[in-house]
Amino acid sequence: MASAGRLLLLYLLPATLLVTWGKVLRQSHKGIGEACEEHTECQSGCCVTNSLNPQKFCTPQTIFQYCLPWQKPNGHTCHAHSECQSDCCVTNSYRLQMYCTAKTIFLQCIPWRKPNGAPCMDHSECRSKCCIRLNEVSPRHCIPRSGILLQCLPL
């Protein structure tokens, strides 16, 4: 009769609970927003970071069943385009530190470039896209384009 009572008790318990030798263990997966360490812990199958905090949480999948990690908003430091919501990670000054920045209205990710007069090694470093020597012995500098056709010519 005692075993019949246990079977009745097991039947009456919610499906999410499992009774084993007097111990109650959770069988269900974690819901959206709960802390997790692996995808298998979550009902959605997605366990990713959702902020600058390295703690992972259960998040919903996309309609294509992907698990998208949180991405940094504009202004946060970054190392790669994929870290940013804008998908644009560039320097914004002479310093080597890179930041998430917005794309242009043409969806371009344009890096910061040196102003006119700054020393340079290549045209791509300058806002004017013009890096030349002012004479044969001087170092290269960014200069404004000149002439009717706005060419990169010495001043």
Q: For the chain, what are the domain ranges? A: 1-30, 31-70, 72-111, 113-155
pLDDT band at 13 (very low <50, low <70, confident <90, very high): very low
DSSP assignment of the chain: -HHHHHHHHHHHS-TTEEEETTEEEE-SPBPTT-EESSGGGBSSS-EEE-SSS--EEE-PPPTTS--PPP-BPTTSEESSGGGBTTS-EEE-SSSS-EEE----TT---PPP-BPTT-B-SSGGGBTTS-EEESSSSSPEEE---BTTTTB----
**What is the value of pTM for the model shown?**
0.54
Does residue 66 carry a pLDDT above 90? no
For 76-115, what is each residue's pLDDT tens digit? Answer: 899 999 889 999 999 877 777 889 999 989 988 888 888 9
Q: What is the arithmetic mean of pLDDT over 49-72?
A: 83
Does residue 32 carry a pLDDT above 80? yes
For 139-153, what is each residue's pLDDT tens digit? Answer: 999 999 887 767 787
